Structure 1
């Protein structure tokens, strides 16, 4: 199935928004979406070949196809020349529309872990509790996690283990209505998310942005904190730096954050391959 959409798969799927996409040797991306093993390959800057699902509308929405990318890029570019230059260098990057439960549970595991470690934990949880799809496993429901939680230690989640089980219990019991977050504005959403044990302001911003479409969210991790200091001279508390980003970039601040994150990610990747640069650190999307 061919999807006609201006989207660049490499930065969209490969820069830490979601953690179940793997790039294959032929340049395509394999992931699990709605309990289907899906492969996507870039055909042109405005088209993608999709194998594994025939849900054209659903996969287009997942890839951020509902966003008016031209308007978004125009808005954040006129607010900042540096971000404008980044959008020119990375056309087609979009913010994914992730499953609400999967995104929430995934980012609960993301506390104090780098992208590689997050991916390992998520795959382990899926392999232990999710539906067997052949090459991969689906992301488990809260009930599937609770039914099999006797072997949760095998997933090697560390201190996140009890928080993960508690989240599954609260969602399964109805104490947490995951869909209710989508009805909240940004401030309400991040406040409610932080009532969940294990979710701080960084994780709340990520979930608000990647699951619940609060495009003004501006998550701050160690990487973005350094960028904000180096490029904009902004330092301080999480609250202060994030508020600066939201004010500076406006209603699409989350897109500006992703361009800043991607540019630094690529820069550090390049330096890591050069033995003369030894200061590179693995990226962290930690709370």
Structure 2
């Protein structure tokens, strides 16, 4: 295991920023709150620890990146408090979602990690996705030790290509194993260049992702939104479809939000999933 040094810096974030809600928002599967109070974020080969100090102050410690990487990751160039205010008043359900979800942000994550994790996400609960992704990282990702914390970076395409079908199945991937193998083979050979796809317009990027084995509309939208920051893209999963049917009379509300559609979707998704689970738990 490789021991790495972290770069520490005091940072201030005065906008909407709730680490617990971000971790539970359903868009990321590896970040977590540690027992010592630190919050750990992993994205590709980058590692970050955030320790809340109060009044919007944080001790930030990172490896494999710089401050600007994480500014982009957390979309800190966008004022979410102002955005919530601009969206308020359009529907009572959206207003409840905006208030409930205050503090979540759209994370601009590693496209390769988003492709693989959302391929894994199909027909799995969020806890099951997290478990499978962690098993995959521990199976072949680079191990690091940072100030007493041991982590495994997300596997590269080449590292995934080195795993057998049995090893992948052992990570709980099931029928998704074939999808992971095909994506890794294409990315490793250069047939799939996820970096180059960043230059494509939304519709072309979406269409290119749909060409990949196992990628449907929901996964393609998730990769566009959470991997490429395409906030006009609004993934529709079972929670969102249920919400559209129950709260919007079956009418898809997202096209009316244009470039903010994906952000609105995240507030609605977080509220719908959180409140539905709460009701179910009480029963």
Q: What is the TM-score normalised by the length of structure 1?
A: 0.84
1:196 paired residue among 206, 212, 227: 212
Q: CA 1:41/1:129 → structure 2, altered by over 3 Å: closer, same or farther?
A: same
Flag the structure with higher strand content. Answer: 2
CA contact (8 A) 1:3 1:60 kept: no
Unaligned runs of at least 5 residues, structure 1: 235-240, 278-287
Corresponding residue number in structure 2 for 1:145: 160
Q: How many residues align?
A: 267
Q: What is the TM-score normalised by the length of structure 2?
A: 0.86
CA contact (8 A) 1:185 1:214 kept: no
1:3 paired residue among 1, 11, 21: 11
Q: Which moved more, 1:192-201 or 1:108-117?
A: 108-117
Which secondary structure state, in structure 2, belongs to the residue aligned with residue 94 of structure 1? coil
Map of 1:53-92 to 2, 5 A cutoff? 53=63, 55-77=66-88, 79-92=90-103
Corresponding residue number in structure 2 for 1:238: none
Q: Which moved more, 1:265-274 or 1:42-51?
A: 42-51
1:204 Cα offset (Å): 0.6
1:40 counterpart = 2:50: yes
Alpha-carbon distance in 2 for matches of 1:22, 1:82? 29
Unaligned runs of at least 5 residues, structure 2: 1-8
CA contact (8 A) 2:26 2:270 kept: no
Q: Which moved more, 1:207-216 or 1:105-114?
A: 105-114
RMSD of equivalent CA atoms? 2.2
1:52 Cα offset (Å): 4.0
- Spell out, residue by residue over 1:80-113, the C-alpha distance to the aligned partner (whole angstroms, 9 max, x if none): 4432343234323210010111111111111111
1:27 Cα offset (Å): 4.8
Q: Which moved more, 1:57-66 or 1:92-101?
A: 57-66
